[in-house]
Amino acid sequence: MVFTAVNGLSSGHYTVNVSNGKMNRPFDKTVESSHYGTLSSSGTYLIDYSSTRTEARNIDLTDTRSFKSVRLLAARNPYEGYRMPLSKREQLNPPTERPTCIIGS
C-alpha cells in the first residue's frame, strides 16, 4: 500500500507491507518538501508532484517496485534572485554564509 502523510511542514509518500505492517519511506528525496502523489491504476507507478522553497515544481515518475525515478519536469525557481525569509530550521541553526542579493542592480 502507498500513501501520503504530513509531518510538520513536509509531506511524503510511504509504503506499508499489509501482511506484516512494516512501513518505510522509499520515495524520500528531499527535506522540508511538499509532495502530492497519484498512483497508477495498476499500482506500478507513482507520479510525484513536489516542491520546496528552492524548487518550484518537480514531477517524477517512480516505479513502485524498483523505486527508480525519472524526472518529467523541473520548473525554474520563480523566486531566484530574491532573499527569502529563514526557515525555522535555519533560524535555530543559521548557515555560516548567506548569499546576499541586491534587487535592481
What is the tally of structural domains in the chain? Answer: 1
Cβ 46 vs Cβ 36: under 8 Å: no
Angstrom distances, CA of residue 61 to CA of 18, 24, 81, 100: 23, 19, 29, 35
Q: Is residue 61 situated within a structural domain?
A: yes
Q: Note the pLDDT of residue 105.
A: 43
Residue 103 forms part of a structural domain = no
24 located within any domain: yes
Q: Is residue 95 in some structural domain?
A: no
pLDDT for the residue 82: 80
pTM score above 0.75: no
Q: What's phi and psi for 90, nearest 5 deg?
A: -70, -30
Per the structure, the complete domain to which residue 13 belongs is given by 2-79
Residues of the chain scoring pLDDT < 50:
105
- The amino acid occupying position 96 is T
Which grid cell is 28?
524520500
